[in-house]
């Protein structure tokens, strides 16, 4: 059952509330960065709309494909209303949504750098809802292990009262750090699109390793579905970073030359 907060006669889903707050914060950052870059135009609005629509569809569809035996899944209608949501699927859907929206609008420019810091902040806020409503992680003896309510869905450790990794707090810390680093890098990396590449690569590495302490089911060789999804992605991103490094994409432009002493 979805956790609810009651505000007088209103009942608000906790997870959905923080997702909405995260989307709102991301849109504010997106607009701020678009203004700074002089990119507030019809094309950027269309790209943002494509990201929102594609992200919503991607979250639901990839959350629906949870079983190797697809017949064990609910119907698409049931999954859309009650099913789980996949952050990785949402990011992939948002990326495809932007590509489709730009193609339909005939826009060829790069918009990823507008999204990178916005997505990082939005994810940090949205994950608060996950922390408050979902199984936190695998059992741990570390001093910062947390105890979740016994009625947390799909969490045997919660029912047993075990201390568990606060995996969503790990991700919130990563996303806030990523937001700060990306914000600092904005004027320092001039190559269009590279800020987005750095964010996606960083998140892919983080997500692969944090999966070892999350509560997700392992499917083969003690790896989870997200890890199997990420393995080929990490290889591609690793090659892409190496290529960008060799081409000098990540060198800070020199504003002035130092005079030898």
pLDDT digits (tens, 9 = 90+) for 16-47: 888 889 888 988 888 888 888 776 666 667 77
Q: Is 7 helix (H, G, I), strand (E, B) or coil?
A: strand
Q: Are the C-beta atoms of 202 and 178 separated by less than 8 Å?
A: yes
- Which range, of 55-59, 118-122, 199-203, averages the lowest pLDDT? 55-59
Distances from the Cα of 134 to the Cα of 28, 124, 128, 169, 179, angstroms: 27, 15, 10, 12, 24
Q: Which one has a higher pLDDT value, 43 or 189?
A: 189
pLDDT at residue number 177 = 97
With tokens 């420019």, the residue in question is: 109
Six-digit token pair at 18? 């923080």
Share of the chain above pLDDT 90, in %: 18
Q: How far is Cα 237 from Cα 240, in angstroms, rounded to an integer?
A: 5
pLDDT digits (tens, 9 = 90+) for 130-175: 888 888 888 899 999 888 887 777 777 777 778 889 999 999 999 9
What is the b/e burial string over 86-106, where b = at least 16 CB atoms within 10 angstroms of the residue's CB? Answer: bbbbbbbbbbbbbeebbeeee
pLDDT at 115 over 70: yes
pLDDT at 245 over 80: yes
Distances from the Cα of 41 to the Cα of 36, 50, 187, 244, 258, angstroms: 12, 15, 21, 29, 39
Complete DSSP assignment for 43-73: HHHHHHHHHHHHHHHHHHHHHH--SSSGGGS
- Whole-number average pLDDT of the chain: 78
Q: How far is Cα 49 from Cα 231, in angstroms, rounded to an integer?
A: 29
Q: Which one has a higher pLDDT value, 60 or 28?
A: 28
Q: How far is Cα 137 from Cα 157, in angstroms, rounded to an integer?
A: 9
Q: How far is Cα 259 from Cα 261, in angstroms, rounded to an integer?
A: 6
- Which range, of 110-114, 127-131, 220-224, 257-261, averages the lowest pLDDT? 257-261
Q: How far is Cα 155 from Cα 19, in angstroms, rounded to an integer?
A: 22
Mean pLDDT score, 221-248: 89
Q: How far is Cα 51 from Cα 94, in angstroms, rounded to an integer?
A: 4
With tokens 């490094």, the residue in question is: 245
């Amino acid at each position: 059952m979805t956790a609810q907060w009651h505000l007088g006669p209103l009942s608000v889903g906790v997870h959905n509330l923080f997702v909405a707050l995260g989307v709102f914060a991301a849109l504010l950052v997106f607009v701020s960065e678009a203004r700074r870059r002089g990119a507030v135009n019809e094309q950027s609005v269309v790209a943002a709309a494509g990201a929102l629509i594609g992200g919503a569809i991607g979250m639901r569809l990839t959350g629906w494909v949870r079983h190797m035996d697809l017949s064990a899944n609910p119907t698409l209608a049931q999954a859309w209303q009650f099913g789980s949501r996949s952050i990785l699927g949402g990011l992939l859907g948002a990326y495809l949504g932007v590509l489709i929206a730009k193609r339909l609008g005939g826009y060829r420019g790069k918009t990823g750098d507008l999204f990178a810091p916005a997505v990082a902040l939005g994810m940090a806020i949205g994950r608060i809802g996950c922390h408050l409503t979902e199984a936190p992680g695998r059992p741990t003896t570390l001093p910062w292990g947390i105890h979740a309510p016994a009625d947390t869905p799909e969490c045997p450790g919660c029912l047993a009262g075990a201390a568990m990794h606060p995996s969503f707090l790990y991700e919130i810390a990563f996303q806030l750090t990523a937001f700060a680093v990306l914000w600092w890098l904005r004027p320092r990396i001039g190559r269009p699109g590279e800020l987005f590449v750095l964010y996606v690569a960083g998140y892919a590495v983080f997500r692969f390793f944090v999966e070892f302490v999350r509560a997700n089911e392992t499917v083969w060789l003690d790896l989870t579905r997200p890890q199997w999804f990420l393995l080929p992605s990490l290889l591609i991103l690793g090659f892409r970073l190496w290529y960008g490094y060799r081409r000098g994409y990540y060198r800070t432009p020199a504003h002035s030359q130092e005079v030898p002493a």
